Chain A
Amino acid sequence: MLEIPGRKEICNKFREGGGRVAAVMPIHYPRELFRAFGVLPIEVWGPPGMDISHSAAHLQPYVCSMVHNMLAFLKTGGLDCADFIIVPHACDSLQGLGSLLVDFVRPPQPVFPLYMPRGRRPEDVEFFAQEFRKLYDWLSNLTGRRPSDEQLMESILMEERADKALAKLYDLRTEVSLSVRDFYRVVRTRQYFPAEEFVSFVERVIDEYSGNPPDGVPVIMSGIVPEPMEVLDEIQNLGGIVVGDDFACCGRRVYPAGSGEDPFIRMAWRIVHGPPDVTRGDLIEERFEHLMDKVKKTGAAGMIFYTVKFCEPELFDLPDMRRRLKEAGIPSVHVEVDINDPLSHQTITRIGAFLEVLI
């Protein structure tokens, strides 16, 4: 397996260099704004395999395991190395988590809930920019810094380069020899590597691993997060290769580069105009067309919807997405997981049966 430093290592290294760290919950937020303050955002997606008795003191069992785990992780000291906690808004459950942290859980770190507008209208960009200005003031108060517009712009350009590197990595998926799991381990370093390290890391990986891509029937995955990541090994063992994805933690955040002089507007524009996302309110049709583009580009033969139990945003779209795909001749399968459960035989069998049909 490819050697990749983990979150803890990166966090410690960054702090040793005098930086601070923000623990950031899913999904969308402006990385560049944090970096301009010398703060490294490290994302928290679960993590899987938590003991949710710690979160059950605040949350009902019908809340998704993602939110349960983030709270359990916090309560068991998992976020102790963070100076700040950021909770972007994406769904009712994340809204609830943000509110709980502010009102009742009150962790030792300051908490900033960040609201994401629902739409791609000019007023959505303007509102998001205002949220970022508020976040700027909040970070200013806590760090004593006030980065200039030039410094902000420098940071934006760096993140835009990192997003470009991520897009390139996706484009070259079928030209590098990385296993399915390793490929996603590299993609997911975007969740905690500083942008500059991410860019050089991706370039090195593309260089070192070029040629001899793994064989397999090409599929696309869609959902929130590919956890537990063993599922990716299983897909490859069963004869599949994931050639693209629409995961909220990965492919749904390959933001386009912005334009314009106002750093806040530019940061907001980039996210608002990212790939279609149900949590941002994009229509089912737009999501479908985006996925079909991916299918055409990658030659994918099928789609695996890999969702988290109780994840309403994904569950609402499923029937229509699957119907549309079927009409377009693309078979799909739906697998639902609780990220605390080990990968079940049932899941593996389901995916295996699906891949067999495609082969």
Chain B
Amino acid sequence: MKRDWRASIRYYWNVKVLGNAYLRWQRWRMERKGPPRRWRTDILAPPLKIGARTKELISRHYLEGRYANGHKPVAWVTSGAPVEILQALGYYVLYPENHGALCGARKVSVEISTEAENAGYSRDICSYARTDIGAMLSGKTPVGKLPKPDLLFACTNICQTVLFWYRVLAEHFKVPLIVIDTPFVYTSPQEYSIQYVKKQLENAVPIAEKVAGRKLSYKKLKQVMRYSRMAAELWLQVMERGKNRPAPISVFDQFIHMAPIVEMRGKPETVDFYAAMLREVDDRVKKGIGAVRNEQRRLLWDNLPIWYKLRELSEYLAERGVAVVASTYTMAWGELAPLIDPEKPFESMARTYIQPILNVGTGKKLEKMKRMIEEYHLDGAILHSDRSCKPYSIGQVDQRNRLIRDYGVPALLLEADHNDPRSYADEQARARLDAFIEMLY
């Protein structure tokens, strides 16, 4: 990566001086304002105050991205990638999946995906990938501008799709692609698989160093891992507060506030953020405030969120006294925290990153769902059958059937797509949800 002093000046001026001041002011204003006008305070608790900080962090992250090229090395990475190495090397990391989610939530994913579809990318490939490729080809994005990558970093621990997708990025950007292959854990992880991942991580370092033009400091790496672990532990605690009745936060809150743990792991501000969030959630617990005002029934959410329907679904369920309080998806960024050992960075990264929920067998996932249903005292489960995400969705038919048959837990398979509203049939979904809710009472 070639450094350019003019880019550095632009970066400092626009991000550190103007951007920071503006974003702080915006946060200050937001913290003092009441809930947005459209917020259904009759059925939902007021939005978490931490929302103002979430917005500040995310906006700053994308603002930094806008001015990163020429000032910092830039890597595009997959959401489950062992990003600590890159953080320690001073990379700016962009998560195309998070950017895709943001496009989904802002309801521009169809417009951007269409750019990819017009260029020949099938509607049968993952809608995150289509959104990202569409953004790459057209430059369209709701965040102003995405930085070009100097390095691509794909880890197969969420799916093989990312491997196919990042090869497309490598073809277009002509930059090195590092693949960290994490063998799928059908039953339990093999020791040789962990050593295989470790070896790849070690071998990735010189490539990432060469692109960054600097050497990895092991002291820094350990520090980054400490922050990663602290943030993941705090995030886990935040989610575990959902065990309280009423649950202080819903999974819809979690979907919004998970962005920092995904894209800013390893940073001190992320630790501060989740510590503050935990304080606020604990305060709610103390005061008996539930995310859903009239919590009557509690549910589990499986698979990715339906980004473009978050508000609608949250209100629909809250109106009926249903709180969705736990999710296998958001749990993925917290449950492995105890495995992170800053004293053994490569070994522990290998052990941690080989077994997120998306890289373990369908039976293990069912066990996890069952455990969560017990621990969070849940009355049922919604399994979002995500047309785009085969690794998460295959197995759900049996999982749903077994939840019903073996554990007596009502479970609904809801057909949709996390980022493509064209695969969501409103009326059909509504009818299925209506029938399901009826069963809960």
Contacts and interface: CB of A to CB of B under 8 A. Distances in A.
Interface string A52-64: 0000011110110
Given A59-B397, A100-B362, A320-B171, A309 B124 contact: yes
Nearest to A102: B186
Interface string B144-158: 000000000000100
A177 interface: no
A281 interface: yes
A284 B394 contact: no
Given A102-B186, A134-B190, A318 B120 contact: yes
Interface in B363-419: 363-364, 366, 385, 387, 390-391, 393-398, 402, 415
Interface residues of B, number: 51
B362 A313 contact: no
Contacts of B119: 319
Interface string A112-130: 0101011101011011001
B124 A115 contact: no
Contact of B124 (A62, A103, A117, A131): A62
B395 A317 contact: no
Contacts of B402: 104
A189 B42 CA distance: 68
A103 B362 contact: yes
A60 B393 contact: yes
B179 interface: yes
Contact of B363 (A60, A90, A99, A322): A99
Contacts of B170: 283-284
Given A92-B161, A318-B120, A123 B397 contact: no
B167 A99 contact: no
B120 A322 contact: yes
Contacts of A283: 167, 170-171, 177
A278 interface: yes
A96 B167 contact: no
A311 to B, nearest CB: 8
Given A60-B397, A284-B171, A316 B164 contact: yes
Nearest to B397: A58
Interface stretch (B53-61, B96-104, B196-204, B431-439): B196-204
Interface string B124-166: 1110010000000000000000000000000010011101110
B192 A103 contact: no
B159 A92 contact: yes
A34 to B, nearest CB: 19
Given A62-B124, A93-B390, A285 B171 contact: yes
A318 B124 CA distance: 13
Interface in B187-222: 187, 190, 192-193, 196, 199-200, 203
Secondary structure of the A side of the interface? helix
B184 interface: yes
A131 B184 CA distance: 12
A123 B122 contact: no
Nearest to A284: B171
B361 interface: yes
Contacts of A89: 184
Contact of B156 (A97, A118, A134): A118
B82 to A, nearest CB: 15
Contacts of A60: 385, 387, 393-394, 396-397, 415
A207 to B, nearest CB: 42
Contact of A319 (B121, B164, B196): B121
Contacts of A104: 362-363, 395, 398, 402
A316 B192 contact: no
Contacts of B121: 315-316, 318-319
B193 A318 contact: no
A154 interface: no
A98 B186 contact: yes
Interface residues of A, number: 50
Interface in A74-94: 89-93
B168 interface: yes
B181 interface: yes
Contact of B120 (A90, A310, A319): A319
Contacts of A347: none
B126 A117 contact: no
A109 interface: no
Contact of A279 (B120, B160, B192): B160
B51 interface: no
A96 B126 contact: no
Nearest to B121: A319
Q: Identify which of B160, B192, B391 gathers the most chain A CB atoms within 10 Å of its CB.
A: B160
Nearest to B170: A283
B183 interface: yes
Contacts of B415: 60
Interface in B287-301: none
Interface in B255-274: none
A281 B179 contact: yes
Contacts of A91: 160
B390 A63 contact: yes
Interface string B277-288: 000000000000
B124 A312 contact: yes
Contact of B125 (A90, A93, A315): A315
Q: Identify which of A57, A317, A318, A319 gathers the most chain B CB atoms within 10 Å of its CB.
A: A319
Contacts of A131: 183
B131 to A, nearest CB: 14
A55 B25 CA distance: 57
Contacts of A92: 159-161, 390-391, 394
B163 A118 contact: yes
A99 B160 contact: no
Contacts of A309: 124
A310 B129 CA distance: 14
A359 B170 CA distance: 35
A107 to B, nearest CB: 14
Interface string A269-306: 00000000011010111000000000000000000000
Q: Identify which of A113, A123, A316 gathers the most chain B CB atoms within 10 Å of its CB.
A: A316
Contacts of A313: 160, 164
A127 B181 CA distance: 11
A89 B168 CA distance: 21
B171 A96 contact: no
18 contacts: A60-B396, A60-B415, A89-B184, A98-B184, A99-B184, A100-B394, A103-B398, A115-B183, A123-B200, A127-B183, A283-B171, A285-B171, A312-B161, A312-B390, A315-B124, A316-B125, A316-B161, A319-B119
Given A60-B387, A104-B363, A127-B196, 17 more contacts: A60-B397, A92-B390, A92-B394, A95-B394, A98-B186, A99-B362, A103-B366, A103-B395, A113-B184, A117-B181, A118-B156, A123-B203, A279-B160, A284-B167, A317-B167, A319-B121, A322-B120
Interface of A: 57-60, 62-63, 89-93, 95-100, 102-104, 113, 115, 117-119, 121, 123-124, 126-127, 130-131, 134, 278-279, 281, 283-285, 309-310, 312-313, 315-320, 322
Q: Which 7 A-B pairs have the closest CB atoms?
A: A96-B394, A103-B363, A319-B120, A316-B164, A104-B398, A127-B196, A130-B192
